[in-house]
């Protein structure tokens, strides 16, 4: 068999050396790739692969073409892109926007995170960012529609609905360039739908979409969407492009169905070969896209231990819940747990910080907790310094013994940060902790 003979030529050490060199992770301490060679050995030694030798070998072979994006590499990419971009734009007339989830505009997806990282790395002002979905929703929300309908009826149709809507979009009239940022596009569907949503607002401006990694299929879909929705001056830029694995490597096409059945039947994957059969081989230091071959990330099979398990946090601060509701729930729930006599002993924000890193110890960006606490970068650094000086955390944001003792004293150690965002139905204690209890230095106000 041709496939078998080709697979026999695969050398483990060569594959690992290529992966490490190509992705520049020889000294990385990131959770996904630390002790990478040993992790791959354990991954390939799993019971499920013993009866599937071809699948085992192709999963090793795929690592030769795998893209892993470390934090350091992403930062270099963003600096490089901005150095390319800045001479070509008028910064004072440019805005940056995330690409919202097609399922829920209010959910903070990876695009939001990486846009914030881009702004931080290049020392740009947060005032230069805007969520275009918010403007769209302002126009499209039911209240506004009812208001326009009422005005039209009251004035016998004299009011021009489009004119009223344009007043909102006119907030962008002094903007020449809009830059959209995203980490990954596998099918192009999300960006295509976002382009349709934003067309009325920005199609006549210079539009630049920057994606760290994109598939050839997604590139084609997005470029056609530019034309379909009337974008006059739009450009798609990507750091890396890739084709689906079996499309690119025809010598392995006979094993495609075998891998598909392994993922579907043995692992029970909902996305065999990746979302919509994308056959992508990509992981970012924050997470693994579901477009990737699912053997690498699918973690809902009891015995299977994926190499790059997909992180599906149950904390959803900006989904259907609004930030004000989250504040209230956290304050409400934390007071159901802390003994009344200890309710004023520690600052609420100190406790929430400890709870967060206790639940998500590898989340070095502390992105969500910063949003919840309402902190900017300097305020978060101040919080970090305070907890570090108390000996509650170490310099790597790991919870130390003294920090654990604080949570144990308050009966919070077994409480997850996620739990605090959920509704409870018990009465709140009178001695409630408030965000107002936390002093913020004057220099940060």
Q: What are the pLDDT digits (tens) for 312-351?
A: 654 444 444 456 677 677 888 888 888 888 878 888 888 8
Mind listing the pLDDT tens digit for each residue in 389-439?
899 988 878 889 999 999 899 888 888 777 777 665 334 434 433 434 332
> For 95, phi and psi rounded to 5 degrees?
-125, 160
Count CB neighbours of 274 within 10 A.
28
Task: Please tell me whether residue 54 adopts helix, strand or coil conformation.
Answer: helix
Mean pLDDT of the chain: 81
**Residue range 293-302: average pLDDT?**
92
pTM greater than the 0.85 cutoff: no
Confidence class for position 261, pLDDT limits 50, 70, 90 = very high
3-state SS, residue 106: coil
For 102-127, write each residue's pLDDT tens digit.
654 445 578 888 998 999 999 998 77
Percent helix, strand and coil across the chain, each to the nearest 5: 55, 10, 35
For a pLDDT cut of 70, what percent of the chain falls above it?
Answer: 76
| Three-state SS at 271 | coil
CA torsion 337→339→342→347, rounded to 10°?
10
Among 199, 290, 291, smallest CA distance to 245 is for: 291
Task: Give counts: helices (H), strands (E), the chain.
Answer: 19, 6
Is pLDDT above 90 for 36? yes
Tell me which residue of 181, 278, 284, 189 sits closest to 236, measured CA to CA: 181
Q: Lowest-pLDDT range, 31-35, 288-292, 315-319?
A: 315-319
State residue 414's pLDDT score.
80
């Amino acid at each position: 068999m041709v496939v078998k003979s080709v697979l026999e030529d695969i050398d483990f050490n060569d594959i690992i050396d290529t992966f490490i060199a190509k992705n520049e992770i020889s000294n990385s301490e990131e959770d996904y790739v630390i002790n990478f060679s040993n992790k791959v050995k354990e991954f390939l030694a799993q019971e499920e692969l013993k009866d599937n030798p071809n699948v085992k070998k192709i999963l090793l072979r795929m690592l030769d073409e795998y893209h892993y994006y470390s934090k350091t590499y992403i930062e270099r990419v963003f600096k490089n892109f901005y150095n390319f971009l800045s001479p070509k734009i008028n910064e004072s007339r440019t805005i940056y926007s995330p690409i919202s989830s097609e399922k829920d505009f209010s959910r903070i997806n990876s695009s939001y995170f990486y846009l914030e990282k881009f702004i931080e790395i290049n020392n740009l002002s947060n005032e230069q960012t805007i969520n275009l979905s918010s403007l769209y929703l302002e126009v499209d929300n039911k209240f506004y529609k009812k208001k326009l309908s009422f005005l039209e009826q009251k004035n016998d149709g004299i009011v021009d609905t489009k004119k009223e809507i344009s007043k909102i979009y006119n907030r962008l009239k002094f903007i020449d360039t809009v830059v959209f940022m995203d980490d990954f596009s596998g099918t192009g569907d999300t960006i295509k739908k976002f382009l349709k949503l934003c067309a009325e607002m920005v199609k006549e401006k210079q539009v630049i979409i920057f994606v760290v990694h994109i598939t050839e299929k997604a590139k084609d879909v997005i470029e056609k969407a530019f034309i379909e929705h009337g974008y006059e001056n739009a450009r798609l830029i990507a750091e890396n492009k890739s084709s689906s694995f079996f499309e690119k490597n025809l010598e392995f096409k006979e094993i495609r169905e075998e891998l598909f059945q392994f993922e579907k039947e043995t692992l029970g994957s909902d996305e065999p070969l990746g979302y919509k059969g994308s056959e992508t081989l990509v992981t970012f230091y924050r997470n693994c896209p579901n477009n990737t071959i699912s053997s690498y990330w699918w973690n809902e099979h009891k015995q299977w231990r994926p190499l790059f398990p997909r992180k599906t946090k149950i904390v959803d601060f900006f989904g259907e819940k609004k930030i004000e509701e989250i504040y209230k729930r956290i304050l409400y729930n934390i007071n159901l747990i802390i003994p009344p006599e200890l309710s004023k002993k520690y600052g609420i924000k100190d406790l929430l910080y400890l709870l967060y890193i206790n639940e998500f110890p590898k989340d070095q960006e502390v992105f969500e907790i910063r949003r919840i606490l309402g902190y900017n970068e300097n305020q978060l650094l101040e919080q970090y310094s305070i907890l570090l000086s108390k000996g509650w955390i170490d310099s790597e944001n790991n919870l130390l013994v003294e920090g654990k003792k604080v949570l144990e004293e308050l009966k919070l150690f077994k409480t997850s940060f996620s739990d605090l965002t959920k509704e409870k139905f018990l009465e709140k204690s009178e001695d409630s902790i408030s965000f107002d209890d936390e002093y913020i230095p004057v220099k940060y106000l």
